[in-house]
Amino acid sequence: MASAYAAGYMVAVPVLSTLTDRMDARRILLVGSLLSGLATIAFGLLASGLLSAMVIWCVAGIGFAGAYMPGLKALTDRLEPGDASRNITLYTSSFSLGVGLSFLASQLIADAWGWRLAFILTGLGPLVMVITALLMKPVPPPPPTGRLLDFRPVVRNRTAMGYILGYGAHCFELYGMRTWIVAFWTFVVARNGPATPLDPIAISVAVTVLAMPASILGNEAAIRFGRHRAISVIQLASAAVGIAIGLAAGTSPWLLLGLVLLYAITVPADSGSLTSGMTASADPRYRGATMALHSTIGFGVSALGGWLVGAALDAGGGAGNATAWLAAFAVMAGGILCGPLVLWWSRSGTTGPDHARGGD
pLDDT (0 to 100) of residue 116: 96
216 pLDDT higher than 80: yes
Residue 158's pLDDT band (cuts 50, 70, 90): very high
User: Residue 174 and residue 183: Cα distance in Å, rounded?
Assistant: 15
pTM for the whole structure: 0.86
pLDDT (tens digit per residue) in 267-276: 999 999 999 9
Residue 355: alpha-carbon gap to chain centroid: 27
pLDDT (0 to 100) of residue 1: 83
Out of 2.60.40.10, 1.20.1250.20, 2.40.10.10, 3.40.1390.10, the CATH code matching 152-356 is: 1.20.1250.20
Amino acid letter, 160: A
DSSP labels for 204-240?
HHHHHHTHHHHHHHHHHHHHHH-HHHHHHHHHHHHHH
Out of 3.40.50.300, 1.20.1250.20, 3.40.50.2300, 3.30.70.1530, the CATH code matching 2-135 is: 1.20.1250.20
Q: Mean of the pLDDT values across residues 68-81? A: 89
Domains 2-135 and 152-356 belong to one CATH topology:
yes
pLDDT (tens digit per residue) in 1-33: 877 888 898 889 999 999 999 899 999 999 999
pLDDT (0 to 100) of residue 270: 95
Whether 180 contacts 306, CB under 8 Å: yes
74 pLDDT higher than 50: yes
pLDDT (tens digit per residue) in 87-125: 999 998 888 788 878 878 888 899 999 999 999 999 999
Cα 262 to Cα 221, 239, 245, 266, 352, distances in angstroms: 17, 12, 10, 6, 32
Domain boundaries, the chain: 2-135, 152-356
pLDDT (0 to 100) of residue 350: 55
215 pLDDT higher than 80: yes
Cβ partners under 8 Å of residue 164, min gap 6: 154, 278, 290, 293, 294, 297, 298
pLDDT (0 to 100) of residue 79: 85
User: Residue 155 and residue 165: Cα distance in Å, rounded?
Assistant: 11
pLDDT (tens digit per residue) in 173-202: 998 998 899 999 999 999 999 999 998 988
Helix (H, G, I), strand (E, B) or coil at 81: coil
Q: Mean of the pLDDT values across residues 301-328? A: 93
